[in-house]
Amino acid sequence: MKEINKVFREPSTFYRWMVLLFLSVAMYGNYYVYDSISLVADQLKHALHFTDSNIGQLYSAYSLAALLALIFGGILVDKWGTKKSSILFVSICTVSGFIVAFSSNLYLMLAGRFLLGVGSEPLIVAITVAIAKWFNGKVLSFAMGINLFLARSGTFTVDNSPTIFPGLYSHGFSEPLFVAALFGVLSFLGILVYFMLESSGEKKFVLGKSGQTDKLNIRDIFKFNKSFWYITLLCVTFYSAIFPFRDFAVKFFMESHHVTRQTAGWMISNLPLAAMFATPLIGLLVDYIGRRALLMTIGSILLLPVYLIMGYSSLTLYVPVIMMGVAFSLIPAVMWPAVAYIVEEKRLGSGYALMTVIQQVGMFLFPLIIGWANDYSHASAANPGGYHLGMWFFSILGILGLIFSYLLRKAETGPDGHGLELGMKHKQTAAAEA
């Protein structure tokens, strides 16, 4: 009888949070590896004669792999389970980091970044499913928020690595990329400890059901309403404006605004830093007040002038960076949960999968476009005006994002709205009146 009780008791709070900690360590290392290229973009250009188009290709290779992996990765997670699949995916990520670190050949680096995309996106799926399994029926939203907080701190760390590791960038690109590969090893160790914790836990605890991973059902594409498509189009324009800009931001700040690598890294690190703290708080606020379409419109308005201010104005960089940070905190906090309001539950997995696939298409194309624009205009420290064309491309995305958010608000304030503008406050008032 004692053995039966031992097998079927629930995991302790401490055990759950230990699992979450090591899953988050894996995400932390993974984010560091992904963002490491932007800090050495200028050194790759000088030492290996890479063009900005080549830098864009290194990010696009990841997104191309992510597109393929998102289709098959969820299937493998469901078939193998989170333990085995996460070990496979994190191993691919770890190997990819060393391929990039020890290569001075563009095509080998592209292969390494492609492998990173093959492993990284399914790893995120596996970690999300694992967290759902361990925290199902508990504090799942809070646990996922903590996981994302720690993951984004990996981006914050790499952005500030010139300050954290003095002298790391003084000898070229190889040492920073090798350090990034070591963070990939940290990610592997995080998953290895998680594997051991879950293997032990399965013998002692009963775990929750994680549910199905998000999969794209082609037939569902033709059944989504116009509000879903407005949010999806806002999603692709927003992320295509933010992340491809980050890919070139350190190089752009150094060459166009003549700041040090440390200052450039600190400035761009304010984006994940703002999101780490503000996004959960905004989520709580939105749950209470509603106004989701309105807030997405406000975020789009804030983002609209940012790139032209950076490109043409002599104002301090802190003004546009703060505006971008607010938008980066505001729009995702509202956008992703809003999908659950406008898509029926049985198609929700397809909805999220379709949004993510279209988002990755934009993140595949725009690093190539911005890299081409910088090369076409001969952007460099000697010609900072060469960055203007790329800033205009980003601004066009901002204009499109504002249009899509306006159309979403127009649709949601009409008779066919789905309650995006309603919050707990309005629901409580309506319930009291009833």
* pLDDT tens-digit readout, 276-320: 888 778 877 887 787 888 999 999 999 999 999 999 887 778 889
Is the separation of the CB atoms in 408 and 414 below 8 Å?
A: no
Does 185 share its domain with 276?
no
Q: Are residues 243 and 386 in the same domain?
A: yes
Helices (H) and strands (E) in the chain, counts: 17, 0
**420 neighbors 342 (Cβ within 8 angstroms):** yes
AA letter at 141: S
Q: Which DSSP string do the residues of 144-191 spell out, in sequence order?
A: HHHHHHHHHHHHHHHHTHHHHSTTTTTT-SHHHHHHHHHHHHHHHHHH
- 59 vs 220: CA distance, rounded Å: 30
User: How high is the pLDDT of residue 176?
Assistant: 96
Considering the domain architecture, whether residues 180 and 257 belong to the same structural domain is answered as no
Please indicate, yes or no, whether residues 182 and 251 belong to a single structural domain of this protein: no
Same domain, 358 and 239: yes
Whether 429 and 329 share a structural domain = yes
CA angle in degrees (0–180, nearest 5) for 371-377-381:
85
Judgement on whether residues 28 and 132 belong to the same structural domain of the protein: yes
| Domain count within the chain | 2
Instruction: Report how far apart, in Å, the C-alpha atoms of 168 and of each of 33, 204, 291, 293, 297 are.
Output: 15, 46, 46, 44, 41
Q: What number of residues does the chain have?
A: 434
Q: 74-100 pLDDT, tens per residue?
A: 778 878 888 999 999 999 999 999 999
Give the amino acid at 382.
Answer: A
Q: At 303, which CATH number?
A: 1.20.1250.20
Domain range for 183: 1-208
Q: Give the domain-ending residue among 208, 233, 249.
A: 208
Which of 208, 223, 254 finishes a domain?
A: 208
In DSSP notation, 119-142 reads: HHHHHHHHHHHHHHHHHTTSSHHH
Angle at 350 between CA 74 and CA 416, to 5 degrees: 160
pLDDT tens over the chain, length 434 residues: 444 444 457 778 899 899 999 999 999 999 999 999 999 999 999 999 999 999 999 999 999 998 888 777 777 887 888 899 999 999 999 999 999 999 999 999 999 999 999 999 889 888 988 888 888 766 676 788 888 889 999 999 999 999 999 899 998 999 999 999 999 999 999 999 999 999 888 788 777 665 566 666 667 777 888 999 999 999 999 999 999 999 999 999 999 999 999 999 999 998 888 888 887 788 778 877 878 889 999 999 999 999 999 998 877 788 899 999 999 988 888 888 888 888 877 777 678 878 888 999 999 999 999 999 999 999 999 999 999 999 999 999 999 999 999 999 998 888 877 777 776 655 555 444 44
Q: Of 109, 122, 113, 112, nearest to 43 (Cα)?
A: 109
Q: What is the pLDDT of residue 251?
A: 95
CB 26 within 8 A of CB 190: yes
Whether residue 219 sits in one domain with residue 204: no
Predicted local confidence at residue 338, as pLDDT: 84
Is 334 found in the same domain as 187? no
Place of tokens 């894996």: 26
Residues 36 and 96 in one domain: yes
- Residue 347 and residue 288 share a domain: yes
Q: What is the pLDDT of residue 214?
A: 64
Structure-derived torsion over alpha carbons of residues 194, 200, 201, 206, reported in degrees to the nearest 10: 140
Last residue of a domain, one of 178, 208, 238: 208
> What pLDDT is recorded for position 34?
96
- Residue 195 shares a structural domain with residue 219: no
